[in-house]
Structure 1
Amino acid sequence: MNRRKQTKKEPLLKGWRFVTVCSVILLAFVALFARAAWIQVVSPDRLRMEGDMRSLRTTVSSTNRGMIMDRHGEELAVSVPVQAVWADPKQVHAELSLEKEQAWQALADVLGESRDRLVKRVDNPKRRFVYLQRQVTPAVAEYIRKLRLPGVHLRPEERRFYPTGEINAHMVGLTNIDGNGIEGIERGYNEWLTAQAGERRVRKDRNGRVIEELGVVSEARQANDIHLTIDQRLQALAYRSLKRASEYHRATSASLVMLDVKTGEVLAMVNTPSFNPNNRSQYQSFRARNRAVTDTYEPGSTLKPLIVVSALENGIVHADSIIDTSPGWMRLGGKRVSDTRNLGKISVQTVLQRSSNMGMVRMALQETPEQLIDTLYRFGLGIDSGMGLVGESSGLVPQRRRWSDIEQATLSFGYGLTVTPLQLAQAYAVIANGGVRNPLSIIKRDHVVQGEQVVPKQHADAVLQMLESVVGPGGTARKAAIPGYRVAGKTGTSRKAIAGGYGNDYVGVFAGMAPVSDPRLAMVVIMNEPQGEKYYGGDVAAPVFAEVMSGALQLMNIRPDGAEEEQFQLAGVGG
């Protein structure tokens, strides 16, 4: 029995093994605790950064570019909502989007591109963003949205639209595809028109939903609208007339500028040829140039009234003086200066009425070159207008240490210097405004700016009365007359300079103002290189002046002051 009874022994556990296992487990827990403490307490930045990279996002508020409007609030440039089509090539390949061949073909068709070219843009799976097409219409965007192509997305943007098209293209200008101004007012006042988008930090979940607002990064700045001094009614009238005339006379280009005499505001400024800024395929640099401020011309006989003002101011002649132009020609420095015929002894008024070169030379040679140049500068020639228009030229008023007689003589009838149409219009506005030069403005002011008296009022008024005879019987600008209104102005026809002299191309000009009894509007019309038999300013530019000025006076409700109106009033009183 004792043999069968055996004591059951407990298993032995060696002490060192137990200690080793416990030590390893303890060390593991210590290591985990130390690592957690290090990450969360000692150096939490990296972990926080990793988390933020997955959840923090910066959202940008949408902005619209400011509008450009005329003086009455009519829209000349506005921003319309459109969509940009873009793709994520990595997503396209990851989700096998290219296997939907029919959908990609439909996408190519609606975007107007070949399917192969479209697919080639997304062939790099490492890229995350590529534009497929920008500024698509809402209808096209909705069609693309319904295709449900993985990796193809839409994002909102805006496109500039110009309701008046080619009428205001040179002055208003246009923007590029990113909404930055590249021509005209759009460029000159780009910062003023551009809004600054606001940014805010948010936390999003994996589905892109905002779960926490973290604050504003930068405040949004709203865009500013611009009100121009332009009257769109006059602008449209001027453009139609100028375009029709330039096409009829096959002119290389033409420009028209109309100013408000009392304020210096630009009421109309148009050029041909023009372009449609809504159709970028028509955009060409030579068409986009605002020739009214960028191109310069020798003014020809339209400069003569300014020289007469200078002669009156310096006491060379008086308003009722008689000038002997006999024998109708003279030689200066080996060159001949002449009139079309010998006019004999004529008044200063007749010098302007008949556009006598001899009469102008007789007056100019009695003045010093400094006196002539000083007068031209005071009229605004040779200096910038200060309106901030893109590409504006200041023209060229010659400065010489020594003047020959022929140089002084040719200056008196408009050769040897260059002016822009805008500068010439301002000079005539000075005459119409009693010798006061107002600062020019293309942006509508909220206050009245006082002008500067640059020439004596009596001399400006005297020349204004003389210029009225130019439009009347016996004058060179009878085609500029407007029934019912008294009109004053001057024609000019200058030959275009070429290397070594003058060529066979001409510039026809008419500059004038109305109504003479109380001048309100001054206008300059320039026809550059008209073709055919008629190229004189009185034939190609004066009729445009008459048509546009007549319409402008009626649109602005300016009371007629002509002889016909006076007779009508007298008949009404007598009856």
Structure 2
Amino acid sequence: MGQARKPKGIPLCTWRHILMLCVISFAFVGVLARAAYLQIYETSRLSSEADKRSVRIQGIDTRRGVIVDRNGVELARSIPVESLWIDPKTILKTPSTLHSVSWKQLANALKMTEGELKRFVQERKDKRFVWLQRQLHPELAKFIHRLDIDGVYLQKEQRRYYPTAEITSHVVGFTGIDANGLEGVEKAYNDLLIGEPGKEKVIVDLHRNVIENKGVVDDAKQGESIALSMDSRIQALAYRELKAAVLRHGARAGSLVIVDIDTGEVLAMVNQPSYNPNRKDQRQPQLTRNRAVTDMFEPGSTAKPFTVLTALEKDIVKPGTLISTGPGKMRVGNHWVRDGVNHGTVTVTKILQKSSNVGVSKLALALDDNSFLDTFYRLGFGLDTGSGFPGESSGRFNVRPNWSKFEKATMAYGYGFQVTPLQLAQAYAVIGSGGIKRPVSFLKLDKPISEERIFSKSATQKVLAMMETVVNEGGTATDAALESYRTAGKTGTARKAVKGGYGDEYLSFFAGISPVSDPKIAMVVMIDEPEGDVYYGGDVAAPVYSNVAEKALRLLNIVPDKIEQIVEAKDSKVVNRG
């Protein structure tokens, strides 16, 4: 046998091997060169394209400021909620979504049929953002989140909440769905409360979830909180008593205002009917308007103290000056001025105590026109109070150039011009302050904004003493008397003006000041159209004043001044017996 042939060895390097190595090398160098080119020369363009797809500028929410009363009790605050929005284009990319169980559950949760929800989406097929429902209930938001439907999203928002509801609604007001103030203090101080939203740069994924925060672009400015002059304890008390009076007398409406005489702050302001600002279905114009600052009325006999004050200022009469009011009526031009009864010859004090139209008309006619009108102008009638409250009326005080004596006489007892309850309360605060006028404020103050003496202290103190007789025995407002505090005030009962004259409906008022020894509050109570035979201010409005003022003064920690009278009376009896 021959020897076996030795197999040839495999060559280590062939042309094919060399060719493959060259191809791989050239490919690697090409990729490396391309990568280097992109990294060095195309960085800006590629970063820009990437940013367009993933980087977003989104807002930084700012929380609306809290509104509190003068004691720090919260009256309005913002609470976190979620709102529902959809991307119709994303939803319609997957037609099966519209027939899924989750879609049916979503429709049921929103109280819609599947067909209604489907049509809603299809009608907006080209849009990328559509609100479906705002400010969801927390449990509903959780349920929708669990459904996890592509194209259906939740967004965090804020909703305004009012803990005291209808008690403070007319002063605090309310905001709209986008947290802008629409009524009351919320509207008046909207720019202060709302703040300024900020901006931040973020990176989002395919589903628009934030995966990285790239920093703040603009800092958010949080809304400032404000403290109102209102005392929520007194406000609640006033609300309860006014509502009870309106219901008891079957009245159409009512208003009550309390002003701090020393500062001009509004301590309480309530209206009937009221509304709950937390419920959108109750925000109707006839309920939401603040009647105490928007509605005008002829003040009736509550204007008589101003005529008496002018007569005292001009030194035409003194409190004890006798004036003949008999026989209970007086002809002025072609018209008659009448009293309910013939009071005969009485003092100026009695004119106020008995509310004599004839007596106060004679005082007005004895004054020159400029002096008479100047009093009303200085009190601010015909001008708003400067409170800044939205929709505040300036009243109506327009005197014809050639006005008649009868018009002048009727103005003396509150006809022929119109005021708001707030204006009247401010005017009575002037009497209580000894002739000093202070601007009205709905914000808490440490001291008055400004002060202006418009009447002498002597004259206003005399009028205050005369008004005290109205509340005491023999006056027209004995039901306004307080148990522990001396009170001065004036009743008013005015016919409501209708086309062509006056109708059979009445407005009943009581305006008062307490305590007389050191006046702290001025209050106006107005009841609109009380039903039945009881419609006089002394019967309808005066009891409301008594119930509110007694408790309000105690809440304000004011020392009772009737106790001093009782002690003095007892001491006098002991001396007499001795």
Q: Counterpart of 1:182 in 2: which secondary structure?
A: strand
Measure, in 2, the Cα distance between the counterparts of 1:408 and 1:142.
Answer: 69
- Matched AA of 1:298: E
The residue aligned with 1:444 is: 444
Measure, in 1, the Cα distance between the counterparts of 2:326 and 2:391.
Answer: 45
Measure, in 1, the Cα distance between the counterparts of 2:441 and 2:372.
Answer: 27
Of stretches 116-125 and 490-499 in structure 1, the one that deviates more from structure 2 is 116-125
Q: Do 2:263 and 2:447's aligned partners in 1 also have CA atoms closer than 8 Å?
A: no
What displacement does 1:511 show? Answer: 0.2
The residue aligned with 2:53 is: 54
Q: Give the fraction of aligned pairs with identical amino acids, expressed as a percent.
A: 48
What displacement does 1:218 show? Answer: 2.1
The residue aligned with 2:300 is: 300
Measure, in 2, the Cα distance between the counterparts of 1:61 and 1:201.
Answer: 10
Alignment of 1:395-474 (within 5 A): 395-474=395-474
Of stretches 197-206 and 478-487 in structure 1, the one that deviates more from structure 2 is 197-206
The residue aligned with 1:515 is: 515
- Matched AA of 2:312: L
Q: Counterpart of 1:263 in 2: which secondary structure?
A: coil
The residue aligned with 1:111 is: 110
- Matched AA of 1:108: A
- Matched AA of 2:437: R
Q: Deviations over 1:132-160 (max 9, x none)?
A: 21101222111111112222111100111
Q: Deviations over 1:41-73 (max 9, x none)?
A: 6x9987664333113211221221111110011
The residue aligned with 1:6 is: none
What displacement does 1:89 show? Answer: 1.4
Q: Do 2:470 and 2:489's aligned partners in 1 also have CA atoms closer than 8 Å?
A: yes
Q: 1:399 to 1:46 in 2, by over 3 A?
A: farther
Measure, in 2, the Cα distance between the counterparts of 1:456 and 1:295.
Answer: 31
Measure, in 2, the Cα distance between the counterparts of 1:358 and 1:523.
Answer: 27
The residue aligned with 1:343 is: 343
Q: 1:204 to 1:177 in 2, by over 3 A?
A: closer
Q: Do 1:484 and 1:565's aligned partners in 2 also have CA atoms closer than 8 Å?
A: no
Q: Do 1:121 and 1:130's aligned partners in 2 also have CA atoms closer than 8 Å?
A: no
Q: Deviations over 1:239-276 (max 9, x none)?
A: 01101110111111100000111111100000000111
Alignment of 1:241-260 (within 5 A): 241-260=241-260
Q: Counterpart of 1:186 in 2: which secondary structure?
A: helix
What displacement does 1:345 show? Answer: 1.5
Q: 1:92 to 1:281 in 2, by over 3 A?
A: same
Of stretches 101-110 and 276-285 in structure 1, the one that deviates more from structure 2 is 101-110
Measure, in 2, the Cα distance between the counterparts of 1:233 and 1:114.
Answer: 48
Q: Do 1:82 and 1:157's aligned partners in 2 also have CA atoms closer than 8 Å?
A: yes
Q: 1:424 to 1:208 in 2, by over 3 A?
A: closer
The residue aligned with 2:236 is: 236
Measure, in 1, the Cα distance between the counterparts of 2:403 and 2:169.
Answer: 42
Give structure 2 stretches of 5+ with no counterpart. 1-29
Measure, in 1, the Cα distance between the counterparts of 2:294 and 2:448.
Answer: 27
Measure, in 1, the Cα distance between the counterparts of 2:259 and 2:310.
Answer: 23
The residue aligned with 1:220 is: 220
Alignment of 1:47-196 (within 5 A): 49-96=48-95, 98-123=97-122, 124-196=124-196
Q: Deviations over 1:77-120 (max 9, x none)?
A: 11111100111112212234525533222222222333322222
What displacement does 1:393 show? Answer: 0.4
Q: 1:104 to 1:261 in 2, by over 3 A?
A: same
The residue aligned with 2:475 is: 475
Q: Do 1:483 and 1:564's aligned partners in 2 also have CA atoms closer than 8 Å?
A: no
Measure, in 1, the Cα distance between the counterparts of 2:498 and 2:138.
Answer: 53
Residue 485 of structure 2 corresponds to residue 485 of structure 1: yes
Q: Do 1:484 and 1:564's aligned partners in 2 also have CA atoms closer than 8 Å?
A: no
The residue aligned with 1:495 is: 495
The residue aligned with 1:18 is: none
- Matched AA of 2:367: E
- Matched AA of 1:150: D
What displacement does 1:399 show? Answer: 2.7
Q: Do 1:260 and 1:267's aligned partners in 2 also have CA atoms closer than 8 Å?
A: yes
Q: Counterpart of 2:509 in 1: which secondary structure?
A: strand
What displacement does 1:200 show? Answer: 2.1
What displacement does 1:521 show? Answer: 1.0
Measure, in 2, the Cα distance between the counterparts of 1:510 and 1:394.
Answer: 21
Q: Do 1:254 and 1:273's aligned partners in 2 also have CA atoms closer than 8 Å?
A: yes
- Matched AA of 1:82: V
Give structure 1 stretches of 5+ with no counterpart. 1-28
Q: Do 1:229 and 1:443's aligned partners in 2 also have CA atoms closer than 8 Å?
A: yes
Q: 1:44 to 1:425 in 2, by over 3 A?
A: same
Q: Do 1:431 and 1:461's aligned partners in 2 also have CA atoms closer than 8 Å?
A: yes
Alignment of 1:3-18 (within 5 A): none
Q: Do 1:201 and 1:213's aligned partners in 2 also have CA atoms closer than 8 Å?
A: yes
Measure, in 2, the Cα distance between the counterparts of 1:495 and 1:211.
Answer: 70
- Matched AA of 1:239: Y
Q: Do 1:425 and 1:522's aligned partners in 2 also have CA atoms closer than 8 Å?
A: yes
Q: 1:112 to 1:213 in 2, by over 3 A?
A: closer
Residue 536 of structure 2 corresponds to residue 536 of structure 1: yes
Measure, in 1, the Cα distance between the counterparts of 2:447 and 2:343.
Answer: 50
Measure, in 1, the Cα distance between the counterparts of 2:563 and 2:219.
Answer: 63
Q: Counterpart of 1:439 in 2: which secondary structure?
A: coil
Q: Do 1:162 and 1:277's aligned partners in 2 also have CA atoms closer than 8 Å?
A: yes
Measure, in 1, the Cα distance between the counterparts of 2:237 and 2:460.
Answer: 29
What displacement does 1:371 show? Answer: 1.2
TM-score (normalizing by structure 1): 0.89
Q: Counterpart of 2:526 in 1: which secondary structure?
A: strand
- Matched AA of 1:88: D
Measure, in 2, the Cα distance between the counterparts of 1:142 and 1:214.
Answer: 29
Q: Do 2:300 and 2:494's aligned partners in 1 also have CA atoms closer than 8 Å?
A: yes
Of stretches 297-306 and 401-410 in structure 1, the one that deviates more from structure 2 is 401-410
Q: Counterpart of 2:83 in 1: which secondary structure?
A: strand
Structure 1: which 4+ aligned runs deviate by more than 4 Å? 43-49, 203-215, 568-571
The residue aligned with 2:557 is: 557
Q: Do 1:118 and 1:132's aligned partners in 2 also have CA atoms closer than 8 Å?
A: no
Measure, in 2, the Cα distance between the counterparts of 1:207 and 1:408.
Answer: 77
What displacement does 1:440 show? Answer: 1.1
Of stretches 70-79 and 323-332 in structure 1, the one that deviates more from structure 2 is 323-332
The residue aligned with 2:273 is: 273
Q: Counterpart of 1:400 in 2: which secondary structure?
A: coil
Q: 1:159 to 1:210 in 2, by over 3 A?
A: closer
What displacement does 1:564 show? Answer: 8.0
Measure, in 2, the Cα distance between the counterparts of 1:203 and 1:561.
Answer: 70
The residue aligned with 2:22 is: none
What is the alpha-carbon root mean square deviation over aligned residues?
Answer: 2.5
The residue aligned with 1:285 is: 285
Measure, in 2, the Cα distance between the counterparts of 1:229 and 1:270.
Answer: 14
Q: Deviations over 1:399-434 (max 9, x none)?
A: 322221101100110000000000101111111111
What displacement does 1:561 show? Answer: 1.3
Q: 1:210 to 1:343 in 2, by over 3 A?
A: closer
- Matched AA of 2:476: T
Q: 1:213 to 1:276 in 2, by over 3 A?
A: closer
- Matched AA of 2:330: M
